[in-house]
Amino acid sequence: MPVTAPHPPVIDAIPAPWKHNPSGWGHRGSVALIAGAACLIALYMGLYQWRLIDGVWDPVFGGQTQQVLDSRVSATLQRWIRLPDAVLGAIAYLGDVIFVLAGSTRRWQCRPWLVMLFGLNVIPLVIVSGLLVVVQGAVVGSWCFLCLVTAALSLVLVGLACEEVWTCFLFLRGVWRATNTRRTLWNTFCGRPSPAAHAVAQRMTEGKS
Amino acid sequence: MWPRVLEFVLACWLAISPFVFRSGAEVSWLWTNDLVCAFAVAAAALLSLHHRLHRTHLANLAVALWLIGLAFARTSPPPAAYQNDLVVGLLLILFTIIPSRAAHPPRAWQRFFEQAHGGGR
């Protein structure tokens, strides 16, 4: 049984080592906006690959964007994944939006699995975006302005996601060090409470709420 | 509750999909498949609104995998109707993973806070 403490925990508490809550709505809202913008840009390119629109706007490289989207690399990817690659990218960015909007402002403690899932969704996106940028220059020989924009947005997303994922990692590491049992660590990861996990979270937020 | 609402919207889209993507000789098969899947998704989403059945929406993962599998069973690239099923399947996975009371801490943690401190602020 947990020990009764005098003050209830603040859900929107600031965990160490930050000066703001990385699970707070302000931080997560900005991540959702950036991921949403990347999702719309990818969807716009996907609509062209589906031939639902006739062309793609590119103020820098002109027709090169269409050459990239119609390239053999893109066709090969479509054969593998059964969808235009830009559409799959749009779905992945939408995943970022959904995963960042779900959960309370204390989800780094109460739903670590969700924070880690968000991190796992963000990191492959930046790797794939980076690879596609390299392929554009090295294999296709053309450049796609909107692809470069989404790659840059992916980098920003990774930077922003790091804070919350790191907080979650510190919390889970604290639980592991306090209990040294895999079962408690797994239960904490799955969002099940324990006095030990709560004590670790309280220490992380002490004097910051 | 928003993930369940969005699952229900996806089910509605799946139900009208055969009107949008007519696919030659396969129309009757697509009708059956899409309507059965739409009914299953809508039913699981609505049942999850009941507090005792709040995890029923996880059954939608099976429907999602079925819809994705249909597209991969076809030669590539699959017809538009199957690409639509693939997109719906992928979106369904994204929504199904999210718990119903997503904006609040899990019930177990809330009960813990109440026992330990008399409720969270």
- Cβ distance A110 to B106 less than 8 Å, yes or no, reads yes
Q: Are B117 and A5 in contact (CB under 8 A)?
A: yes
CATH number where A183 lies = 1.20.1440.130
Q: What pLDDT is stored for residue A14 in this prediction? A: 84
Confidence grade of residue B25 (pLDDT, cut at 50, 70, 90): low
Q: Look at residue B26 and tell me whether its pLDDT is greater than 80.
A: no
Using a CB-CB cut-off of 8 Å, the residues of chain B touching A9 are: 113, 116-117, 120-121
CA-based nearest distance B99→chain A, Å? 8
Distance from C-alpha of A92 to C-alpha of A151, rounded to nearest angstrom: 13
Helix (H, G, I), strand (E, B) or coil at B65: helix
Residue type, B70: L
Question: What's the pTM?
Answer: 0.89
A12 part of a folded domain: no
**Nearest CA to CA, how far is B39 from chain A (Å)?**
23
Distance, in Å, from the CA atom of A177 to the CA atom of A192, rounded to the nearest integer, reads 18
How many structural domains is chain A composed of?
A: 1
Task: Determine the residue of chain B that is closest to A209 in CA distance.
Answer: B121
Of B78, B82, B94, the CB nearest to A98: B94
pLDDT, position B7? 95
Which residue of A6, A10, A198 is in closest CB contact with B112?
A: A198
Interchain CB distance below 8 Å, B117 and A3:
no
Query: What is the pLDDT, as a whole number, of residue A207?
Result: 61
Question: For chain B, first and last CA: distance in Å?
Answer: 21
Q: What is the pLDDT of residue A1?
A: 44
Helix/strand/coil (H/E/C) assignment for every residue in chain A: CCCCCCCCCCCCCCCCCCCCCCCCHHHHHHHHHHHHHHHHHHHHHHHHHCCCCCCCCCCCCCCHHHHHHCCHHHHHHHHHHCCCHHHHHHHHHHHHHHHHHCCCCCHHHHCHHHHHHHHHHHHHHHHHHHHHHHHHHHHHCCCCHHHHHHHHHHHHHHHHHHHHHHHHHHHHHHHHHHHCCHHHHHHHHCCCCCHHHHHHHHHHHCCCC
With respect to residue A5, please indicate whether it lies within any of the assigned structural domains. no
Q: Measuring CA to CA, which residue among A77, A19, A10, A80 is closest to residue A49?
A: A77
pLDDT in tens, chain A (209 residues): 444 455 556 677 788 787 888 999 999 999 999 999 999 999 999 999 999 999 999 998 888 889 889 988 888 988 899 999 999 999 999 999 999 999 888 899 999 999 999 999 998 888 888 888 888 777 778 888 999 999 999 999 999 999 999 999 999 999 999 999 999 999 999 999 999 999 999 899 886 54
B40: closest CA of chain A, how far (Å): 22
A6 within domain boundaries: no
Q: Which domain holds residue A120?
A: 25-205
Size of interface A-B (CB pairs under 8 A): 97
- Among A52-56, A127-131, B35-39, B63-67, the range scoring the smallest mean pLDDT is A127-131
CA distances from B52 to B40, B47, B48, B99, B105 (A): 18, 9, 8, 14, 17
Q: Domain boundaries in chain B?
A: 2-117
- What percent of chain A is modeled with pLDDT above 70? 94
Contact at CB, B121 and A10, closer than 8 angstroms: yes
User: What ipTM does this complex have?
Assistant: 0.89
Would you tell me how many other CB atoms lie within 10 Å of the CB of residue B96?
Answer: 24
Interface contact flag, A103 B3, Cβ < 8 Å: no
Residue A156, domain member (yes or no)? yes
Whole-angstrom Cα Rg for chain B: 18
Residues B85-94, mean pLDDT to the nearest whole number: 96
Q: Quick: pLDDT tens for A156-201.
A: 999 999 999 999 999 999 999 999 999 999 999 999 999 999 999 9
- The answer to the question of residue A79 being in a domain is yes
Distance from CA of A60 to the nearest CA of B (A): 31
- List CB contacts (< 8 A) between B87 and chain A: 83, 87, 91
